[in-house]
Structure 1
Amino acid sequence: MKALACLTIALALAAPALSITLDRCRLAREMSRLGVPRDQLARWACIAEHESSYRTHIKGPTNSNGSNDYGIFQINNYYWCQPSNGRFSHNECKLSCDALLTDDITNSVRCARKIQARQGWKAWATWKYCSGTLPSIDSCF
């Protein structure tokens, strides 16, 4: 019985943390708190909706070049973060890809903003859904 209790505790500690799913307003408020200009929030929310359905712990399927996309903004590991398997990465955001899979979206937001500053909104394939007029996020605040 004692062994079973120890095994149960060990498995509970080893289990990954439950991921969170944000909603449009929660994401907008969190990004605003992190310094993202309010006039960009609707675009970021649209990208997160189409990339990950606002889920923080999503690792996308393997792309044709062998890379993967991570987190709420589906950031690619060939260019932007270092995968845990040691595979080559340019790692432009200077962080582990696992840092993009946490409930704290600070790293995801910082890296996504770096990508957007360098490549523009079209860096995300889902941009086509987010390029027009979007619903206001004013009611979120």
Structure 2
Amino acid sequence: MKSFVVFLLVVLTWAASPALARTMDRCSLAREMARLGVPRDQLAKWACIAEHESSYRTDVVGPPNSDGSNDYGIFQINDRYWCQPPNNKKSANGCGVSCKALLSDDITRSVRCAQKVLTEQGWPAWSTWKFCNGNLPSIDPCFK
């Protein structure tokens, strides 16, 4: 009986907790970013970056960079400059957000922070830009 109660508590806790991460695809990312107001002419570029940075996964924490920093979320936002890491190490936290918040299935904060990075540093802020700087497949089929 005791193990049944423990099992029931685990199941109820799991069922009540929100999903913390998800894997998107090119079109689901483009549609969601469009709903968040991202200009349509940028969507193919963002999808390409997300594909190469995180394979469209919202829960990715990259391995340590050469400077000891890490990158978080679907767009791999760097914790040295843009988000506050969970271990309270020094960060400029330019987006005013915790890095953990960038791992959520709700990509709003990741999108807003990525847009800020783009405004301040341009597309080359992402090392994977080399794969996305050129002719990309049209994003239009995602909206039909």
Q: TM-score range by the shorter chain?
A: over 0.9
How do 1:1-141 and structure 2 match up within 5 A?
1-2=1-2, 4-9=3-8, 11-12=10-11, 13=13, 17=19, 19-141=21-143
Distance 2:40 2:51 in 1: 17
Residues 1:10 and 1:92: Cα distance change in structure 2 (over 3 Å): farther
| 1:117 positional shift | 0.5
- Cα RMSD (Å): 1.7
> What is the CA deviation profile of residues 58-101 of structure 1, one whole-angstrom value per residue up to 9, with x for unaligned ones?
01111121111000000000100001111111000001000000
Aligned length: 140
4+ runs of 1 displaced by more than 6 Å? none
- The percent identity for this pair of structures is 66
Residues 1:6 and 1:68: Cα distance change in structure 2 (over 3 Å): farther
Give the TM-score taking structure 2 as reference length.
0.91
Gapped runs of 5+ residues in structure 2? none
Residues 1:84 and 1:18: Cα distance change in structure 2 (over 3 Å): closer
Q: Is the 8 A contact 2:20 2:104 kept in 1?
A: no
| 1:10 positional shift | 5.0
Give the TM-score taking structure 1 as reference length.
0.93
Q: Is the 8 A contact 2:82 2:92 kept in 1?
A: yes
Distance 1:98 1:48 in 2: 17
